[in-house]
Every structure is written in C-alpha cells, then in structure tokens.
A and B are shown apart, each in its own frame.
Chain A
Amino acid sequence: MQVVTDIKYVFIAITSLLLSSNFIYGQSIKGIVIDGDHTPLGFVNILLKNPQDSTIIDFAITNNAGKFEFDTIPLNGILLSTSAIGYASFDTMLYQVSKQSEINLSIQLANKDYDLQQVEVNAYKNGVIINGDTTIYDPSTFTTGQEENVEELLKKLPGIVVEDGGKISVGGKEVENVLIEGDDFLDENRKAVLEGLSAESVSSVEIIGNYEAYSDLADFNTESEQKYAINIKLTKDAKSKIHGNVQLSGGHEDRYEAIADLYKIKEKSKFFINANTGNTGQNTLSIYDYIQLEGGLQNFTEQRSKGDRKIPRIFLDKERYNQINSNYLGFNFSKNIGSKLEMDGFAFAYLNNSKSSSVKRETPSHLGITNIYDKSKNDQLKTLAAKFNLDFKPSKKENWNYSSKVLLENTAETLQNRTQFFGNRFESQNHTTSEPFQIQNQINYRNRINKSNHLSFQVYSKWRKFDRNRLIASDTILPFFSSDNSFSSKSIDQKTANQKHNLDISAVYRKRIKFLNLQSKLYWNREDLDLEISDLPNLDFIASFEPSNWQRDYIGYKQGVNYKKGNLSTGVGINWFNFKVQQESTAEVSNRNYFVPSAFLKIQFNPFQQSFRLAYNNKVQAADLELANNAVEIVELNKLYQFNVEGSQILTGKHIELFYNLFDAVSGTMLFLFSNFSKSEAIGNQYFYFPTYELRKTTEIPPQELWINGLVIDKKFYRTSIGARLKSFVGYQKDYTYVEDLLNVYQNNSFKLELGAYSIWKESPMNAEMIIEYNQTQFNTGESKLSSKERIYRNSVVYGNIFFFLLYIGCSRINKK
C-alpha cells in the first residue's frame, strides 16, 4: 500500500521525488530513519512543510530507535523534509490518495560531511562585502534585533570593538572618524550619536581603510599610519526623519531655558539646527556647540593649526555672572551638488547681556561710619559668524577646496568700582567697547597623481581689524585725612585701530619609492601689521606702546625622507628658512637664515599581538649648531600598558624622564600604577674675558628625583594602594674664577623616602604611612688657592632624620541613619 518503502539510498529517494510523487493513503504517518549501515538514527528532524511557502506545518524528532510518527496530516499534498547533523537532507512530496489506513516510511540517509560551520560562514559572507580598502557590513546579518542603538549594533560586527567611552577600534587600531553618510558631521558628539541613533536607522556600516580626512600633509617626520573611518549609512526611513532633542524648562525668578538640537541627514544634504535661549546664569552657547558648528573637532583643530587661533571671546570668558540673558541660534548644513561638488557651512548669531557679580557690602564701623564696597560689571556681546566651504572633486585623484569665514564681534564692557572707607571715597569706571572683525579665505588643492606621487598646495589669507575704545575715569576724595584732599578726576580716552594681514602659501610634494617616503615642502608666510593709537592721554607708560607698522616675511624649504619597513621607521630632514622683518618707522631691516637638520628613529614591535606595542622613537634637531636636542621616546598606547621614556640633551645637559603606567582598561579599573621620574641636568658655561685673562667655569648638577607611585588595586568593594616615593636631591655646583684662583663648591645630598599603604573596604578606611627623611648639605665658599679636599668638607653640614611614622586605622560609615 505504500509507494516509498525501504528506500536504499538517498539518491533513490531523490530520483523518486523527481520522477514521481509519493502518494499516501492514510491520515497518519509512521516511519523509521536509518543510516547506511541500517542503524536507526535518533534525533533526526522530520519536518512537514507547506509546499507553497515552505512554512512548517508540523514536525517530529526521531527517538533513539530512529522512529517517528505524525498523528494527523493535512489532506493536501505536503513536503516531507529531514535534517540531521552528519547526514544529507532528504525532501519528498507526499500526496493523499485515500483517507484510509496509516503509512509507514523507511528513510535511509547518506553520510555527509555536514559542514555546519559553512552555514555560519555563508551568513558572514553574505553580510560582508570587501571592496578594496572598504569593508561593508550588512547589520541585519549580525544582529538579533534587540540592539537599541548604533553603539550596540557596532559591538556585534566582527572585527569592531567599541569601548565604554565610545572609542572604537578595528583590528586593535583606533577609528579616528565616525562618519554619517560620508560626512564627519558630529565628530565631538560621537558618543551621543552612537547612543542616540536607533539601530534600525542603519542600513549598512562601512569600514574605510586608508581614510584621509581633508588636511594639509603632515610633516615628513610624522609617522604616517593607516587610518580607519567608519561610515554609517542610514535607511530611507531614517533619512526622512528629523532626529534630535527639544527641551523646554521653566523656573523660579525668571529662570527659563529652551534648547533645540535638530538634525536631518539625507544622502545629498544634511542640516543641523541648534537654538538655545535662556536666563539661567549660564551661557547658552558653549565651546562644544561651536566646535560642532565648525564641523567637528578635527576640522576645528585643523583650522587652529593653520594659524586661525581666534576663538570668539564668549568661550574664553569665565566670569561668573549673576544674571545672563542670552539667545543663540545656529545651524550648519551640507549639500551635494552632483557627484563632484559639495558645499557645507554654518552660521550663528549670539546675543548676550550679562551682569556680573555685583558685590555690595556695607559694614558699619565702630566710629559710626559706614564703609561701602561696591563692584559691578555689565557686559554686552553680539556675535555673528558664518563659514562656507566648497569641495570640488573633478576626478578621484584631484580635490579642490575653498573655504571662507567671517566673524564679527561687538562687545561693550563696563566695570564700576566704588569704595567708601572711613569717609574716604574711591570711584572708578572703566568702559571698553571693541569691534573685532575678521575674514579668512583658504584654497587647498590636492592631487594624488598615483599611488607613489602626491602633490598639494595651499593658499591661506586672513585679514583682521580690531577697533577699541577705552575710557577710564576715576575720582578720589580723602576728606578724612584732610579737607583739602580731593583729587580731581583723571580720564583716559584711548582709541586703538589695528589691522593685520596674513598670507600663507605652501606647496608639498610627496613621493614614495617602495619603503622610502620623500617629502618636499616650500612655504612662504607674510604678515603685515598696521597699528594706530589715537587720543593718547598724558601718561608715560602708554608711550611704550609706540605705534609701529612692520612687515614680516618667512620663507622656508623643507626636505625630508623617511623609511618605513616592518617595525622600523627612520627619517632625516633639513629645514631652511629665512626670517626677514622690515620696520616701517625706522626703516630697519633684520634678516636671518636658519638651518635645522633633524632625524628620527623608531622601532616598534608587538610581542603580544594587538594588546601590546613597544616603540622606540629618537629625534634629533639642530639649528645653527647652537642647539642640539635629543629625544628618546618609548610609547605603548594600547589597552593595558603605558610606558614612556623621554630624554633630551642640550649641549652638555641631560634630561631624562621615565613614566610607566599599568592599568586594566578593559574593566575600567586601575590595577597598577607606577610612575618613575628622573631628571638629570648639567650645564657648563665658560667665560673668557680678555685682556684681564679672567676665566670662569661653572658646573652645576641640579637635584635628581625618583618617584615611585605605588600599586593601586581598585575592586568593587575595596581599594588598596601601596606606594613609595623617593626624592633624592643631589645638587652640585662648582664655580671657578681663575683670576683670583677661587673655587666655590656647593653640594647638597638629601633624600626623602615616603612609604604609604592605604586601603578602603566599603566605608571603612585604613591608612598607614611612613616617611623617612635624610639630608646632607656640604658647602664651601671663597677659599683661596684651594689645595685639599678636606677644606671642602670642613664647612660641610650633615644632618639626617628618620622622620615620622604615621599609622591610622579607622572606621566610619557614611549616611548612617
């Protein structure tokens, strides 16, 4: 009654599947699954599937005897499928012929090197596309759907490590840029974005190797390491949404705050609006907002490194105000025009009116006279700033960039002081208004001609104008001492107009020949200054600020070559520059040439793969043979250990610093901290005075120090530190004056040893410290025709202390009810 009985091999079953379908007559199916040796197979999955969509209708698992059973099956045709580890799967169609009886199946499965891992690997392969330097992940392949934000999503991707602080690394190397849709849009707020953007917003994640953000080329002796960037691409839904936060809060005594941070990211355009208004005693615009508007920390620091050091004054003012009324509106944007042109920029307006700590104290004295101290400050600040940036990429190799920036500030500051002391009165008022205005323009061009030849040049211009009016008025009346003592008021009304123009042109050519990296840089910088001070008061000290107009030219050429292969990198370079200053008022010209050779050597090895790296870096620089500087640096900057050695040499002087640090960055707790600082310096000077034949020679060794800042173990429930600090002062100074044959010697030997142990168990601290101190000082002065060493020690002073020993064991509880 059955069509399929005792199928010998799988291929027979498959053949039968192909040639004819299996007709079943009953409502229930029983069966047995055996292997090639006719041994019953347990734990084989038998699935009944809907042939239309392969969804599972029912399933059974064979018992240890290899048997399975379905009580009821649907009347229509059904797909029977088996699966078991180590055996080929088997599929067949079953059709109902009659509603009678039951059927028995016997299925024999063929052995197969069933490579389960391949299933997993296929999944990975499907989820990862490697395209040159770029690796693209399909997040859905690696995630479970439980990830809440982008940070959690990134943690699931193979090869990417996200630490708690938002630091991301790929293959042990830190990712410097996190881009959204190709734009380093929210650099400084990386952590906030990683946590703020939902995981569902992400369509793909790209790791870009050899990422080079737009910047001028690094100096030849700067190590050029591969940089990674992560580019997060968003889904269509996410692009259509506006992300961000809106916050409103009210309050007591005019205390209010309204904040809106909104951003929208589309493929071809992005914008970010940040509006903030309030009267909360805090500035509504912070330096972080400004950096964000500048396009992120990297852009900001690049601009700063190019000489644009002007930061709007509002961020530098740390004065605490009693009352602030400030309003701020800013936005930035970026838009792609076609595939070759991209523009971005920002603008913001900031209005601030603040009254500072107006201090007024009235204290009645015992003579019945009231003393008054009153100080107040009013500030008004209006700022407008805008920046525009245009990127043009005519080809993959070429990149043109133009940026322009305008900043206008209008400040008014009034400072008032009034003091009344025993009837004497002092009053002063200082009123300053200033209107700085600056415009910057910059053109960059970069051409990656081919893999081994790069060319770039930059033109940078900045014009600054700074007008300032200053009024100082004061009154002093001293009736208490004498009724005639009444000083008439003095006033200074000063007006300063200042113009400064900078022009900076540089060109860099870089050529790579196998492991050699050649770099040539030609640069020219001109600075013009026009300074005017009008309405000078009759005060002498102002004369020192004599108006002067001058022009400074700075032309230089750098040529360097570095070599990097494996763990070794080394380089030498020459920097020549000419420095010329022309003073307009005196027609004085000073012209000087500098010639600075330099070299570095770096060896690094990685004994524990990605977890540890040891590097040796040696730099030598010399200019006009007047200065020699030698630095040795051993740095390990990975998760677990840090070790630095720095040394420099100035002629005969030596300077060595050691620093060693060990901590467990994985758990975030400090396990061990050890720092060692040693400094040694000797300076030799020789003076020759002719014709008196005076010869003076001085040798000096300043104090040496060695610090060992002990062991810190920080666990959840206790914290222990054991430390030692050794300060050793070995000062030595010799002063010969040969004319009079005098020898002055000063020597001081002392050391101080501090040993400490500290432990805290929950709220109960235990503390023990011991300090041992020893001092020895030798001093010999002015001995004529010194002949023996005894004289040196004759006047020496030696004293030693074994100083105090402190032990404290205590117990306290915090928040005891």
Chain B
Amino acid sequence: MIKLLIQVILLTLPCILNGQSLEVIYKCKNKGNIQTEIKNTENEKIKQALIAAKDIISNYFINFKLSQKGQYSYFAESEDGNDPLTSSEDGKISYTLSARNDIIYKDYNLSQFVAKKHQVSRAYHVEDQFMNFDWQISKEQRKILGFDCIKATSTYCGKEIVAWFTLAIPIQNGPMELGGLPGLILEATNGTGLIYTAQSVRMNVEIENLPYLSSHKKAITHNEFCEEVRKKKGLKIDMNDN
C-alpha cells in the first residue's frame, strides 16, 4: 500500500512543462523574537497585549501562493490552510499579519509590478519597475525541499534581506516583490521580521486564469512606499477595551 502510495506521489507529480507555469506555496511567519519585540515596545497597552498573545504570535503563520503563468505572476494569500485571524483564549486579543492581504502582480513583458501592500490597517497601491536588488551571492548553500539553494543578500526599504534561491528552477521570481536572481527564491526575509519559506513547488499546473491586479490612480512608487514603512510598524493588534 505504502509502496503504491509513494509511486502514485512520484508518478502524478511530474508533468512536462509546457506553459512554464508554476505554483509555489510559501509559509509566512514572524521570524523575530517576540521577547525582543515585547522588550522594545514602549506602548504599555501593546506591550501587555504582546505578552498575553506571545504564544499565538510565535506559532502564527499564513500561507501565500505564488502563481506564474508565462510572463505574468501573481502572489497573494493562499486560499488553503489558512487561519486568517487567530485570537487568544479569552478572545480579547486577535492577531494577524499586516502582510496578510498583500498582493503582488508582476508583468515580465513590461518588467513592472503592481502591488497592494498593507501597513498597520492601511492599504497602499504600489506600482513600479522591477527593482534592482543588486544581490550579493554568497558561497553558502543549503537544501530546501530537496533543491540545492544558494544564499543571496540585498536590501529592501533599507533593511537587509536574505534570500535562498535554486538554480534548478531558472525563474527570476520569488515571494513578494523579490526576484532578479538566476533562480526561484525558495526562502526570503522581508526586512521587517517576516520570513517566507517555500512549502511546496508545483510545476506545470493548470492555471486557467491568472488573477490580475489593475493599476490604481493613487498608486505610489516603491521608494514612496518604503518611506511609509519607515514611519510605521508592521504589527497589527486588535484589542477589546474591557
């Protein structure tokens, strides 16, 4: 039975890649040490909320899906396996990630991206050319999902980010706006404490209609968005004032 099962897994997964389509599920969670976060929080109310909710924050994650079809890709929260909002046992504190509703649409024909980003309950429409990350590739390697990955570092909104990409999948894409490496990024940090780690890579999936994110008249550039990030903190806490 198990032999058959494994064989089914092995036989059903591979398909010939025709449409250059792929789907990658990234698990996004808070990488930072919550204790440090608590220590650095000045607002006493938020600090207490963080202490009360530190377990749920530590364990919380959201799955994102990167879908690429031909020259277009769409990165958004995955519909499967997500618990959109988690709350403490007494229900007083609910917690989610600001990045939860982030959507990034990339157009490789125009080398442009359109994004809907969120920071502390506020949505931003960002449109810009693909960013020049000026990646620094190191010799450090490790395996993710069985793929040999190479470490590369760069900056995002002034913060250092680390990406692990694989040459085995020569697609210059990754989570969020990231890309520009000679292979798919399977793990990356975003500079604000989040880490996106690939959970599965599916090739040659049938993507009938790739979702599309249209331009917005109030769209800002990436640099303008970074200015907003510097002003605010990427953590949302809802509290019931009892």
Partners in one complex: yes
Interface positions of A (Cβ within 8 A of B): 42-43, 45-47, 55-56, 59, 61, 63-64, 83-86, 113-121, 123-128, 130, 133, 135, 140-146, 158-159, 170-171, 173, 207, 209, 226, 228, 716-717, 762-763, 813-817
Contacts of B137 in A (CB 8 A): 56, 59
CB <8 Å contact, B6 and A126: no
**How long is the Cα–Cα vector from A61 to B135 in the complex, in angstroms?**
12
CB <8 Å contact, B20 and A141: no
Contacts of A716 in B (CB 8 A): 85, 87, 91
**How long is the Cα–Cα vector from A159 to B7 in the complex, in angstroms?**
11
CB <8 Å contact, A171 and B1: yes
Assuming the contacts A120-B203, A159-B2, asked whether A47 and B182 have C-beta atoms less than 8 A apart, the reply is: yes
Of B42-50, B166-174, B221-229, the one with at least 4 CB within 8 A of chain A: B166-174
Name the contact of A817 in the complex, choosing from B16, B22, B150, B242 (C-beta under 8 A): B242
Contacts of B150 in A (CB 8 A): 56
What's the least CB distance linking B52 to chain A, in Å?
Answer: 12
What's the least CB distance linking B196 to chain A, in Å?
Answer: 11
CB <8 Å contact, A115 and B146: no
What's the least CB distance linking B199 to chain A, in Å?
Answer: 8
**How long is the Cα–Cα vector from A130 to B142 in the complex, in angstroms?**
25
Please provide the 6 A-B residue pairs with the shortest distance between their CB atoms, ordered closest to farther. Answer: A123-B146, A45-B182, A83-B170, A117-B203, A141-B146, A117-B14
B180 within 8 Å of A (CB atoms): yes
B109 within 8 Å of A (CB atoms): yes
Closest residue on chain A to residue B166 by CB atoms: A119
CB <8 Å contact, B14 and A121: yes
Contacts of B108 in A (CB 8 A): 42-43
CB <8 Å contact, B172 and A61: yes
Between A and B, 30 residue pairs with Cβ closer than 8 Å are A42-B108, A45-B182, A47-B182, A59-B181, A64-B111, A84-B170, A85-B170, A115-B14, A116-B17, A116-B168, A117-B15, A118-B14, A119-B147, A120-B145, A120-B201, A121-B10, A121-B13, A124-B13, A130-B3, A130-B7, A135-B2, A144-B144, A144-B145, A145-B143, A173-B1, A207-B2, A226-B1, A228-B2, A716-B91, A717-B91
CB <8 Å contact, A127 and B146: yes
What's the least CB distance linking A775 to chain B, in Å?
Answer: 44
A-B contact count (CB 8 A): 136
**How long is the Cα–Cα vector from A133 to B4 in the complex, in angstroms?**
10
Contacts of A815 in B (CB 8 A): 90, 242
What's the least CB distance linking B171 to chain A, in Å?
Answer: 6
B183 within 8 Å of A (CB atoms): yes
What's the least CB distance linking B188 to chain A, in Å?
Answer: 12
B197 within 8 Å of A (CB atoms): yes
What's the least CB distance linking A761 to chain B, in Å?
Answer: 10
CB <8 Å contact, A144 and B198: yes
**How long is the Cα–Cα vector from A813 to B91 in the complex, in angstroms?**
12
CB <8 Å contact, B197 and A146: yes
CB <8 Å contact, B242 and A117: no
CB <8 Å contact, A144 and B14: no
Q: Can you list, as one digit per residue, whether each of B111-133 has a CB less than 8 Å from chain A (1) or not (0)?
A: 10000000000000000000000
Interface centre among A85, A116, A118, A128, by most chain B C-beta atoms within 10 angstroms, is A116
Assuming the contacts A45-B182, A209-B2, asked whether A117 and B144 have C-beta atoms less than 8 A apart, the reply is: no
Assuming the contacts A115-B17, A117-B203, asked whether A45 and B183 have C-beta atoms less than 8 A apart, the reply is: yes
Contacts of B172 in A (CB 8 A): 43, 45, 61
Contacts of A83 in B (CB 8 A): 167, 170, 182-183
Contacts of A226 in B (CB 8 A): 1
**How long is the Cα–Cα vector from A63 to B130 in the complex, in angstroms?**
11
Assuming the contacts A61-B182, A120-B14, A145-B144, asked whether A813 and B242 have C-beta atoms less than 8 A apart, the reply is: yes
Contacts of A209 in B (CB 8 A): 1-3
**How long is the Cα–Cα vector from A176 to B77 in the complex, in angstroms?**
36
CB <8 Å contact, A120 and B13: yes
B177 within 8 Å of A (CB atoms): no
Closest residue on chain B to residue A814 by CB atoms: B90
B154 within 8 Å of A (CB atoms): no
**How long is the Cα–Cα vector from A115 to B20 in the complex, in angstroms?**
10
Given contact pairs A46-B182, A116-B169, A120-B13, enumerate 18 new A-B contacts (beta carbons under 8 Å): A45-B167, A47-B167, A83-B167, A85-B20, A116-B17, A117-B16, A117-B17, A118-B14, A119-B168, A120-B203, A124-B13, A125-B10, A128-B10, A133-B2, A144-B198, A716-B85, A717-B91, A817-B242
What's the least CB distance linking B81 to chain A, in Å?
Answer: 10
Q: Can you list, as one digit per residue, whether each of B74-85 has a CB less than 8 Å from chain A (1) or not (0)?
A: 000000000001
What's the least CB distance linking B227 to chain A, in Å?
Answer: 28
What's the least CB distance linking B66 to chain A, in Å?
Answer: 14
Contacts of B180 in A (CB 8 A): 61
Contacts of B3 in A (CB 8 A): 130, 133, 135, 209
CB <8 Å contact, B10 and A762: no
Q: Can you list, as one digit per residue, whether each of B124-166 has a CB less than 8 Å from chain A (1) or not (0)?
A: 0000000000000101001111110010000000000000000
CB <8 Å contact, B1 and A59: no
CB <8 Å contact, B143 and A141: yes
Contacts of B6 in A (CB 8 A): 128, 130, 135, 158-159
CB <8 Å contact, B143 and A140: yes
Closest residue on chain B to residue A61 by CB atoms: B172
Assuming the contacts A45-B170, A45-B183, asked whether A120 and B15 have C-beta atoms less than 8 A apart, the reply is: no
Contacts of B203 in A (CB 8 A): 116-117, 120
Assuming the contacts A171-B2, A817-B242, asked whether A85 and B171 have C-beta atoms less than 8 A apart, the reply is: yes
CB <8 Å contact, B201 and A113: no
CB <8 Å contact, A144 and B187: yes
Contacts of A63 in B (CB 8 A): 111
CB <8 Å contact, B169 and A119: yes
Contacts of B181 in A (CB 8 A): 59
Contacts of A173 in B (CB 8 A): 1
Closest residue on chain B to residue A47 by CB atoms: B182
Closest residue on chain A to residue B198 by CB atoms: A144
Q: Can you list, as one digit per residue, whether each of B184-220 has a CB less than 8 Å from chain A (1) or not (0)?
A: 0011000000000110010110000000000000000
**How long is the Cα–Cα vector from A133 to B3 in the complex, in angstroms?**
7
**How long is the Cα–Cα vector from A84 to B184 in the complex, in angstroms?**
11
**How long is the Cα–Cα vector from A763 to B91 in the complex, in angstroms?**
9
What's the least CB distance linking B60 to chain A, in Å?
Answer: 14
Contacts of B90 in A (CB 8 A): 814-815
Contacts of B183 in A (CB 8 A): 45, 83
What's the least CB distance linking A157 to chain B, in Å?
Answer: 10
What's the least CB distance linking A808 to chain B, in Å?
Answer: 22
Assuming the contacts A42-B108, A170-B5, asked whether A85 and B146 have C-beta atoms less than 8 A apart, the reply is: no
CB <8 Å contact, B144 and A120: no
Name the contact of B91 in the complex, choosing from A125, A228, A762 (C-beta under 8 A): A762
What's the least CB distance linking A370 to chain B, in Å?
Answer: 50
What's the least CB distance linking B79 to chain A, in Å?
Answer: 15
CB <8 Å contact, A64 and B109: yes
**How long is the Cα–Cα vector from A240 to B14 in the complex, in angstroms?**
40
Name the contact of B5 in the complex, choosing from A126, A143, A171 (C-beta under 8 A): A171
Closest residue on chain B to residue A56 by CB atoms: B137
Closest residue on chain B to residue A85 by CB atoms: B20
Contacts of B187 in A (CB 8 A): 144
CB <8 Å contact, A142 and B242: no
**How long is the Cα–Cα vector from A64 to B109 in the complex, in angstroms?**
7
Contacts of A140 in B (CB 8 A): 143
Name the contact of B204 in the complex, choosing from A116, A159, A813, A816 (C-beta under 8 A): A116
Closest residue on chain A to residue B173 by CB atoms: A43
Name the contact of A126 in the complex, choosing from B22, B146, B170, B204 (C-beta under 8 A): B146
**How long is the Cα–Cα vector from A647 to B14 in the complex, in angstroms?**
49
What's the least CB distance linking B149 to chain A, in Å?
Answer: 9
What's the least CB distance linking A180 to chain B, in Å?
Answer: 20
Contacts of B139 in A (CB 8 A): 55
Interface centre among A47, A113, A144, A817, by most chain B C-beta atoms within 10 angstroms, is A144
Contacts of B20 in A (CB 8 A): 85-86
**How long is the Cα–Cα vector from A438 to B150 in the complex, in angstroms?**
64
Q: Can you list, as one digit per residue, whether each of B86-118 has a CB less than 8 Å from chain A (1) or not (0)?
A: 010011000000000000000011010000000
**How long is the Cα–Cα vector from A607 to B60 in the complex, in angstroms?**
35
**How long is the Cα–Cα vector from A85 to B180 in the complex, in angstroms?**
15
Assuming the contacts A43-B172, A56-B137, A115-B17, asked whether A159 and B145 have C-beta atoms less than 8 A apart, the reply is: no
